[in-house]
Structure 1
Amino acid sequence: MRVVLSTYGSRGDVEPLVGLAVHLRLLGAGVRVCAPPDEDFARRLADVDVPLVPVGPSARALTLAAPSPADLPRRAADLIAGQLGPVAEAAEGCDVLVATGMMPAAAGALSVAEKLGVRSVSVTFQQLTLPSPHRPPLAYAGRPLPPGVTDNRVLWDLDAGHVNALFGEALNTNRASIGLPPVADVRDYVVGARPWLATDPVLDPWRGSPELDVVQTGPWLLADERPLPDDLAAFLDGGEPPVCVGFGSMPLHAAEDPARVAVEAVRARGRRVVVLRGWAGLGPVDDRDDCLTVGEVNHQALFRRVAAVVHHGGAGTTTTAARAGAPQVVVPQAADQPYWAGRVAGLGVGVAHDGPTPTTASLSAALAEALAPAVRERATAVAGAVRADGAAVAAALLLDEAGRGRAA
Structure 2
Amino acid sequence: MKTTVLALGSRGDVQPAIALGKGLAARGHAVRVLAGKNFQRWIEEHGLTAIPASVDSVDIMESDLGKEWVSRGTNPMVQSRVLQQLIGRFGAEMAGDALRACEGAELILSSFTSDTYAASIAEALGAVQVSMPLQPSIVATRHGPTALAAPAPRRDSLLNLLAGKLVVEPTVWRWYGGMTNRLRQQLGLPPQDRRAYMATLRRMLVVHGYSAHVVPHPPDWPRSFHTTGYWFLDEGDGYRPPEALERFLAAGEPPIALGFGSMTSHDPGATTRILVDAVMRSGRRAVLLSGWAGLGGMALPDTVLRIDAAPHDWLYPRVAAAVIHGGAGTVAACLRAGRPAVVVPHLADQLFWGRRVEELGVGPRAIPRPRLTTESLAAAIHAATTDAGIQQRAAELGRKIRGEDGVATAIGHIERHLAARA
Report the TM range for the smaller structure's normalisation: 0.7 to 0.9
Mapped contact 1:3–1:96 kept (Cα < 8 A): yes
Match of 2:350 among 312, 316, 337: 337
Mapped contact 2:217–2:226 kept (Cα < 8 A): no
Matched, 1:302 2:342: no
Measured at CA, do residues 114 and 53 of structure 1 come closer, stay the same or move farther in structure 2, by a change above 3 Å?
same
User: Any idea what SS the aligned residue of 1:98 has?
Assistant: strand
Amino acid at match of 1:4: T
More helix by share: 2
Give the superposition deviation at 1:288: 2.8
Amino acid at match of 1:207: P
- Report the equivalent of 1:20: 20
Amino acid at match of 1:98: L
Measure, in 1, the Cα distance between the counterparts of 2:125 and 2:88.
21
- Report the equivalent of 1:116: 125
Question: Which runs of 5 or more residues in structure 1 are unaligned?
Answer: 140-148
Measured at CA, do residues 246 and 157 of structure 1 come closer, stay the same or move farther in structure 2, by a change above 3 Å?
same
Deviation digits for residues 355-381 of structure 1, max 9, x if unmatched? 323111110001111011512222111
Deviation digits for residues 180-212 of structure 1, max 9, x if unmatched? 111111761673324221110111112222556
Measure, in 2, the Cα distance between the counterparts of 1:163 and 1:321.
29
Matched, 1:220 2:239: no
Aligned length: 393
Mapped contact 2:288–2:306 kept (Cα < 8 A): yes
Measured at CA, do residues 305 and 362 of structure 1 come closer, stay the same or move farther in structure 2, by a change above 3 Å?
same
Percent sequence identity is 33
Matched, 1:29 2:29: yes
Matched, 1:82 2:93: yes
Measured at CA, do residues 123 and 5 of structure 1 come closer, stay the same or move farther in structure 2, by a change above 3 Å?
same
Match of 1:60 among 41, 48, 58: 58
Amino acid at match of 1:278: G
Question: Which runs of 5 or more residues in structure 2 are unaligned?
Answer: 70-77, 150-156
Matched, 1:174 2:188: no
- Report the equivalent of 2:143: 134
Single out whichever of 335-344 and 306-315 deviates more from structure 2.
335-344
Measure, in 2, the Cα distance between the counterparts of 1:343 and 1:217.
18
- Report the equivalent of 1:48: 46
Mapped contact 1:23–1:392 kept (Cα < 8 A): yes
Mapped contact 1:4–1:91 kept (Cα < 8 A): yes
Matched, 1:98 2:109: yes
Measured at CA, do residues 95 and 165 of structure 1 come closer, stay the same or move farther in structure 2, by a change above 3 Å?
closer
Measured at CA, do residues 56 and 108 of structure 1 come closer, stay the same or move farther in structure 2, by a change above 3 Å?
farther
Measured at CA, do residues 84 and 256 of structure 1 come closer, stay the same or move farther in structure 2, by a change above 3 Å?
closer
User: Any idea what SS the aligned residue of 1:385 has?
Assistant: helix
Single out whichever of 324-333 and 255-264 deviates more from structure 2.
255-264
- Report the equivalent of 1:155: 163
- Report the equivalent of 1:205: 216
- Report the equivalent of 1:188: 198
Deviation digits for residues 145-195 of structure 1, max 9, x if unmatched? xxxx98333322323333333332222122111101111117616733242
- Report the equivalent of 1:383: 398
CA RMSD in angstroms, aligned pairs only: 2.6
Measure, in 1, the Cα distance between the counterparts of 2:347 and 2:133.
17
TM-score, with structure 2 as normaliser: 0.85
Measure, in 2, the Cα distance between the counterparts of 1:115 and 1:339.
34
User: Any idea what SS the aligned residue of 1:332 has?
Assistant: coil
User: Any idea what SS the aligned residue of 2:14 has?
Assistant: helix
Measured at CA, do residues 189 and 107 of structure 1 come closer, stay the same or move farther in structure 2, by a change above 3 Å?
farther
Amino acid at match of 1:267: M
